[in-house]
Amino acid sequence: MSTARLPLDGITVVSLEQAVAAPFATRQLADLGARVIKVERPGGGDFARRYDETVHGQSSHFVWLNRSKESVTLDVKTPEGREALERLLARADVFVQNLAPGAAARLGLSAAALAERHPSLVVCDISGYGTDGPWSDRKAYDLLVQCETGVVSVTGSPEEPAKVGIAIADIAAGMYAFSGILTALYERRDTGVTRSVEVSLFEALAEWMGYPAYYTAYSGAQPPRVGAAHATIAPYGPYPAADGRTVLLAIQNEREWAAFCAHVLDDAALSDDPRFRRNSSRVARRAELDAVVTARFAELDADEVVALLDRAGIASARLNTVEDFLAHPVLSGRDRWRDVDTPGGPVRALLPPATPRGLEPRMAPVPAAGEHTAAVLAELGLDGEGTQLAHKTPQSER
């Protein structure tokens, strides 16, 4: 790939961020060339730095979310810290925050207040349930939002609901913040109008609940929990092969169903069986259908099953572990891995999914807490105050 100028070169982002949602949004901006100055609390920084110590003594969350950023530690409740932050914002294009409910407003950092002082600054607020409304003062974390939006009620086995194994509320909010910031920058460039962006974890995940929401509203019953199977399409899910491995298959239409019967189940007449002719019938008789598929797969090992599915044009997958994923031939075959430095040593990192063709995204180091404080304060003409601002006692607000 080329090392040509990245699309967001020249854009400066200042972020009062913590945990997952805001850091995910700003890391994607950094991937595309933006300068991201991460303002952290003195005395430890972003609390996600201490979620675990698995990556060369560092948090797996933090290493994932914070490459290519500059870390500056400021106590923004002190006059000196506030002055430094104001000077940063005066030079910035974007300000992102996901502080506790009401904290930004109490610090004079609401979107309305910042618009008066810095009219060309794109402000992005990330909250749990919105900056106004009946739940604006309520704390929100990923699992809580998964529960409030109904995600947990449609995930898991028939006997027990389950959370999704990754932080989908945070990830969804970070993605919408990223796209919203890009949209605001595009509008500012083309019209001169600067708009703020607001994203809540609840509303981001509410959008992702569109299918079960429509299904429930217009059928009178929500999709059932069916483990790793699809709630409303059959056969679509995991089946054990004779060698103990699991193969997932996905039938999308009646043409595929007929091909599956003829070439995989070795029973072409089954496609016209009234019990299974339509998808809705197959879903209603899922137990009977699963018994037929399971009996056939018990005669074949996983590689034989996949070979038959491939010949029939049926999509399939193996039930991989995370270790299997890390060794996946698609990632190595498409040269998706890069080395990224961290304070504890180099790590492998995946290229961002959407990269403009011909450009190499920025994959710069993960910073230590406060690593860039002195240098950034020197840019602001505050070099004499760097040590003082970097080592104030941490405040409990953030």
In this predicted structure, the answer to whether residue 398 has a pLDDT above a threshold of 90 is: no
Cα 180 from Cα 174, distance rounded (Å): 10
Other CB atoms within a 10 A radius of the CB of residue 138 amount to: 15
Which residue's entry shows tokens 């001169």? Answer: 192
Task: Report, as an integer, the average pLDDT of 275-290.
Answer: 93
In this predicted structure, the answer to whether residue 306 has a pLDDT above a threshold of 60 is: yes
Q: Which of 45-49, 127-131, 388-392 has the lowest mean pLDDT?
A: 388-392
Position 351, amino acid? L
Per-residue pLDDT, 386: 43
Confidence of residue 393 (pLDDT cuts 50, 70, 90): very low
Whether 67 contacts 364, CB under 8 Å: yes
Task: Report, as an integer, the average pLDDT of 360-370.
Answer: 95
Its pTM stands at: 0.89
Percent of the chain residues past pLDDT 70, beyond the cut:
95
Per-residue pLDDT, 287: 93
Domains and CATH numbers, the chain: 12-210+335-390 (3.40.50.10540), 236-318 (3.30.1540.10)
Read off the pLDDT of residues 234-257 as tens digits, 9 standing for 90 and up.
Answer: 999 999 999 999 999 999 999 999
In this predicted structure, the answer to whether residue 375 has a pLDDT above a threshold of 70 is: yes
Q: What is the DSSP string of 239-265?
A: EE-TTS-EEEEE--SHHHHHHHHHHTS
Cα 286 from Cα 234, distance rounded (Å): 7
Confidence of residue 396 (pLDDT cuts 50, 70, 90): very low
In this predicted structure, the answer to whether residue 390 has a pLDDT above a threshold of 90 is: no
Those residues with Cβ within 8 angstroms of residue 263's Cβ, 6 or more apart along the chain or in another chain: 308, 311, 312
Task: Report, as an integer, the average pLDDT of 276-291.
Answer: 93
Q: Where are the beta strands (DSSP E) in 244-322?
A: 246-250, 315-318
Position 336, amino acid? R
Read off the pLDDT of residues 114-163 as tens digits, 9 standing for 90 and up.
Answer: 999 999 999 999 999 999 999 999 999 999 999 999 999 999 999 999 99
In this predicted structure, the answer to whether residue 359 has a pLDDT above a threshold of 70 is: yes
Whether 72 contacts 372, CB under 8 Å: yes
Per-residue pLDDT, 356: 87
Read off the pLDDT of residues 185-242 as tens digits, 9 standing for 90 and up.
Answer: 999 999 999 999 999 999 999 999 999 999 999 999 999 998 998 988 999 999 999 9
Other CB atoms within a 10 A radius of the CB of residue 186 amount to: 10
Confidence of residue 313 (pLDDT cuts 50, 70, 90): very high
Burial of 120 (0-12, 13-18, 19+ CB in 10 A): exposed
In this predicted structure, the answer to whether residue 266 has a pLDDT above a threshold of 90 is: yes
Other CB atoms within a 10 A radius of the CB of residue 25 amount to: 32
Distance of CA 53 to the CA centre of its chain: 21
Q: How far is CA 270 from CA 124, 239, 249, 296, in A?
A: 55, 19, 17, 13
Enumerate the β-bridge partners of residue 249.
Answer: 237, 316
Confidence of residue 4 (pLDDT cuts 50, 70, 90): confident
Cα 231 from Cα 249, distance rounded (Å): 14
Task: Report, as an integer, the average pLDDT of 292-310.
Answer: 95
Q: What is the 3-state secondary structure (H, E, C) of 108-154?
A: CCCHHHHHHHCCCCEEEEEECCCCCCCCCCCCCCHHHHHHHCCCHHH
Whether 246 contacts 293, CB under 8 Å: no
Q: How far is CA 179 from CA 29, 111, 141, 207, in A?
A: 10, 18, 21, 15
Per-residue pLDDT, 80: 92
